């Protein structure tokens, strides 16, 4: 079964993910105007999107009744005069990852579906807007994109997420097999699962999907910020540095929904990307307290973080010491723990140096940043490094889009699971319930890759004694 269906309305970020001055989101399909009309309010009174002429530009705000997300420009393209040849809308908003994420969520809620890689171009081709030679140019691009998006589907999920998804798929397959077993093999001498056992299995699957679904909605990086840890020996100036960074960017700390006040206090937004300094309570109240936290706590902190700022006092630390501590960290975390982590070395207290000692030339190989936290010198170099580290991840993986895509897929899985549950309650025949199970598997497949019926039969044959 393929995912490319051209009857519905699709949306996606058209500009590269990450932070930029502006970002453009593209919406295409027969309901483009209807969907955009639901979330766009023009500044000009009496504006009606259905009557707006093609190739016109409209200023206004985007958001819900309760919450405005951004001021944007809306471009109208009436079919066939658009890239895809369908009715289309382009939304130019401020280039913040958070804003883009929010607008995509609005579009999905309003009835759009996330576009698959290359889908805009496919539609353009199907509608005769591109000829083969024109299309040729984008072919490689699409292949590359989807490769990245496939990698992202599996690699990018950190921690136990990918394990959880594949575990879910297995459970759902088991569930589907049990249902199919009593359909295709009802004449066989095998024991069929009773309804209560099936319901229990379904409930387990559903609560897991629900949990995952909610964790995406609330806990994802875009909302709560990229976790950053500042570590270092006592008295190297960690709390001073934290305050310096927070103060530097204080002007653009935004009110991020869903985060606690504490979290906001220690969260900064730089170029649209949120960074959250973890476990800073101790740092703020008592100054350097790392010695009281103990070594276990330090590693705990490092494990949670995506970016680690390793701070040392340049006046009293030599190159070998830094090197050794870093090696120790890497050894302790192991290869798996080091994945997706960025280490940034920061040499503090340059204000106390007359000149940089010779042995610190070697520091260059670690890409060390020399700062004075006390005098707030070179702090912007740190914030730039933070953004650079995360932007690199995003360019590789397309984090923002995939989050919304996975979230959408999980929503669809959940809907299908609810339909299955409903079917059980109404005592609907299991071949009809199977339709919803397939739907759930199909949407889960959007995250993990394809699933074919052959898997299903294989599963049945391996578990049950089939055959007269």
Partner 1 sequence: MFNHYDVIVVGAGHAGCEAAAAAARLGSSVMLITMNMSNMAQMSCNPAMGGIAKGQIIREIDALGGLSGIVTDKTMIQFRMLNKSKGPAMWSPRAQSDRMLFSMEWRTQLEQIDQLDFLQDMVSSLLIKDGKVFGVKTSMGHQISSEAVILTNGTFLNGIIHIGEKKIAGGRMGEVASVGITEHLLELGFESFRMKTGTPVRVDGRTIDFSKLEEQPGDKIPGKFSFTDTPPLKKQRSCYLAYTSLEVHDILRTGFAQSPMFAGRIEGIGPRYCPSIEDKIERFSGKDQHQLFVEPEGWTTVEYYINGFASSLPEEVQIKALKKISGFEKAKIFRPGYAIEYDYFPPVQLKNSLETKLIEHLYFAGQINGTTGYEEAAAQGLIAGINAHRKLKKLPDFILKRSEAYIGVLVDDLITKGVDEPYRMFTSRAEYRILLRQDNADLRLTPIGHEIGLASLDRVEVVRKKEFLLEKILKHCKKESAAPKEVNDMLYAKNTDALKQKVKISSLLLRPQVHFRDLIQNIDHLSSFLNDLDGITNEIIEQAEIRIKYQGYIDKERDLANKLGKLEDIKIKDDVDYHQLTSLSWESREKLSKIRPRTIGQAARISGVSPADISVLAIYLGS
- Rounded to whole angstroms, how far apart are CA atoms 443 and 222? 23
> In whole angstroms, how far apart are CA 330 and each of 165, 295, 336, 380, 386?
28, 14, 10, 27, 20
Instruction: List the one residue out of 327, 317, 311 whose CA is nearest residue 370.
Output: 311
Q: Dihedral of the CA atoms 420, 426, 432, 438 (nearest 10)?
A: 0
Examine residue 85 and tell whether it contacts partner 1 (CB under 8 A).
Answer: no
Looking at the Cβ atoms of 140 and 335, the one nearer to partner 1 is 140
Binding to partner 1 (CB under 8 A) within 151-190 occurs at: 180, 182-189
133-172 b/e (C-beta count within 10 Å ≥ 16 → b): eeeeebeeebeeeeebbeebbeebbeeebbebbeebbebb
For the bound state, the minimum distance from the C-beta of residue 429 to partner 1, rounded and expressed in Å, comes to: 3
For the bound state, the minimum distance from the C-beta of residue 49 to partner 1, rounded and expressed in Å, comes to: 26
Looking at the Cβ atoms of 45 and 426, the one nearer to partner 1 is 426
Looking at the Cβ atoms of 8 and 170, the one nearer to partner 1 is 8
Looking at the Cβ atoms of 262 and 431, the one nearer to partner 1 is 431
Q: Judged by CB under 8 A, which stretch of 4-12, 22-30, 298-306, 360-368 contacts partner 1?
A: 4-12
Displacement of CA 72 from its chain's centroid (Å): 23
Looking at the Cβ atoms of 8 and 214, the one nearer to partner 1 is 8
Instruction: List the one residue out of 208, 321, 226 whose CA is nearest residue 270.
Output: 226
Residue 75: phi and psi, rounded to 5, are -105, 135
Looking at the Cβ atoms of 52 and 416, the one nearer to partner 1 is 416
Examine residue 142 and tell whether it contacts partner 1 (CB under 8 A).
Answer: yes
Q: Transcribe 225-279 into DSSP letters.
A: -EEEEEEESTTS-HHHHHHHHHHHHGGG----TT--HHHHHTEEEETTEEEEETT
Looking at the Cβ atoms of 335 and 427, the one nearer to partner 1 is 427
Looking at the Cβ atoms of 5 and 286, the one nearer to partner 1 is 5
Instruction: List the one residue out of 183, 265, 267, 187 whose CA is nearest residue 223.
Output: 267
Examine residue 133 and tell whether it contacts partner 1 (CB under 8 A).
Answer: no
Displacement of CA 308 from its chain's centroid (Å): 20
What angle, 0 to 180 degrees and rounded to 10, lies between the N-to-C axes of helices 379-397 and 399-425?
A: 50
For the bound state, the minimum distance from the C-beta of residue 234 to partner 1, rounded and expressed in Å, comes to: 52
Q: Is residue 347 within a helix (H) or strand (E), and if so which, with residue range?
A: strand 342-348
Q: Show the tokens assigned to 91.
A: 């939304």
- Strand order of the sheet with strand 68-77? 40-42, 56-63, 68-77, 88-94, 22-28, 10-13, 113-114
For the bound state, the minimum distance from the C-beta of residue 396 to partner 1, rounded and expressed in Å, comes to: 17
Number of amino acids touching partner 1 (CB under 8 A): 58
Looking at the Cβ atoms of 117 and 232, the one nearer to partner 1 is 117
Examine residue 422 and tell whether it contacts partner 1 (CB under 8 A).
Answer: no
Q: Judged by CB under 8 A, which stretch of 30-38, 90-98, 118-126, 254-262 contacts partner 1?
A: 118-126
Examine residue 281 and tell whether it contacts partner 1 (CB under 8 A).
Answer: no
For the bound state, the minimum distance from the C-beta of residue 166 to partner 1, rounded and expressed in Å, comes to: 18
DSSP 8-state class, residue 156:
I
Examine residue 195 and tell whether it contacts partner 1 (CB under 8 A).
Answer: no
Examine residue 454 and tell whether it contacts partner 1 (CB under 8 A).
Answer: yes
Examine residue 6 and tell whether it contacts partner 1 (CB under 8 A).
Answer: yes
For residues 33 and 153, the answer to whether their CB atoms sit within 8 Å is no
Binding to partner 1 (CB under 8 A) within 424-443 occurs at: 426-432, 434-435, 438
- Using CB under 8 A, which of 56, 235, 286, 452 touches partner 1? 452
For the bound state, the minimum distance from the C-beta of residue 449 to partner 1, rounded and expressed in Å, comes to: 8
- Using CB under 8 A, which of 14, 42, 73, 126 touches partner 1? 126
Examine residue 450 and tell whether it contacts partner 1 (CB under 8 A).
Answer: yes
Examine residue 466 and tell whether it contacts partner 1 (CB under 8 A).
Answer: yes
Examine residue 194 and tell whether it contacts partner 1 (CB under 8 A).
Answer: no
Q: Show the tokens assigned to 164.
A: 């959880």
For residues 336 and 163, the answer to whether their CB atoms sit within 8 Å is no
Q: Which residues bind partner 1 (CB under 8 A)?
A: 1-7, 116-119, 121-122, 125-126, 130, 132, 135-136, 138-140, 142-143, 146-147, 150, 180, 182-189, 426-432, 434-435, 438, 449-450, 452-454, 456-457, 461, 465-468
């Amino acid at each position: 079964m393929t995912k490319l269906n051209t009857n519905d309305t699709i949306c996606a970020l058209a500009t590269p993910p990450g932070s930029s001055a502006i970002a453009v989101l593209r919406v295409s399909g027969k309901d483009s105007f209807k969907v955009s009309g639901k979330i766009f309010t023009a500044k000009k009174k009496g504006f009606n999107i259905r009557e707006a002429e093609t190739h016109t530009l409209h200023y206004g705000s985007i958001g819900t009744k309760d919450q405005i997300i951004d001021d944007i420009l809306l471009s109208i393209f009436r079919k066939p005069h658009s890239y895809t040849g369908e009715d289309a809308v382009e939304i130019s908003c401020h280039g913040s990852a958070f804003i883009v994420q929010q607008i995509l969520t609005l579009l999905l809620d309003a009835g759009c579906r996330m576009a698959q890689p290359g889908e805009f171009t496919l539609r353009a081709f199907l509608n005769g807007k591109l000829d083969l030679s024109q299309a040729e140019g984008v072919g490689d691009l699409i292949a590359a994109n989807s490769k990245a998006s496939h990698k992202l589907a599996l690699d990018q999920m950190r921690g136990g997420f990918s394990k959880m998804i594949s575990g879910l798929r297995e459970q759902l397959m088991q569930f589907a097999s049990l249902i199919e077993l009593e359909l295709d093999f009802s004449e066989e001498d095998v024991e069929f699962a009773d309804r209560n056992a099936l319901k229990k299995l379904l409930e387990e699957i559903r609560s897991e999907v629900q949990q995952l679904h909610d964790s995406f909605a609330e806990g994802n990086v875009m909302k709560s910020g990229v976790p950053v840890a500042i570590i270092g020996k006592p008295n190297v100036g960690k709390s001073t540095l934290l305050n310096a960074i927070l103060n530097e960017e204080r002007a653009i700390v935004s009110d991020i929904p869903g985060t606690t006040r504490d979290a906001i206090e220690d969260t900064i937004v730089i170029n649209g990307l949120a960074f959250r300094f973890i476990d800073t309570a101790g740092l703020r109240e008592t100054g350097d307290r790392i010695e009281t936290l103990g070594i276990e706590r330090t590693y705990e902190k490092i494990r949670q973080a995506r970016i680690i700022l390793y701070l040392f006092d340049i006046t009293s630390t030599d190159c070998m010491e830094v090197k050794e501590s870093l090696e120790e960290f890497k050894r302790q975390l192991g290869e798996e723990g080091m994945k997706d982590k960025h280490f940034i070395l920061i040499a503090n207290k340059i204000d106390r140096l007359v000149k940089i000692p010779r042995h610190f030339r070697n520091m260059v190989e670690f890409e060390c940043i020399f700062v004075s936290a006390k005098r707030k010198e070179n702090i912007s170099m740190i914030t730039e490094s933070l953004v650079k580290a995360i932007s690199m991840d995003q360019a590789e993986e397309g984090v923002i889009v995939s989050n919304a895509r996975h979230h959408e897929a999980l929503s669809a899985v959940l809907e299908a699971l609810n339909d299955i549950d409903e079917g059980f309650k109404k005592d609907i025949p299991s071949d009809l319930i199977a339709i919803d199970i397939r739907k759930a598997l199909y949407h889960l497949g959007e995250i993990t890759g394809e699933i074919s019926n052959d898997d299903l039969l294989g599963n049945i044959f391996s578990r049950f004694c089939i055959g007269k």
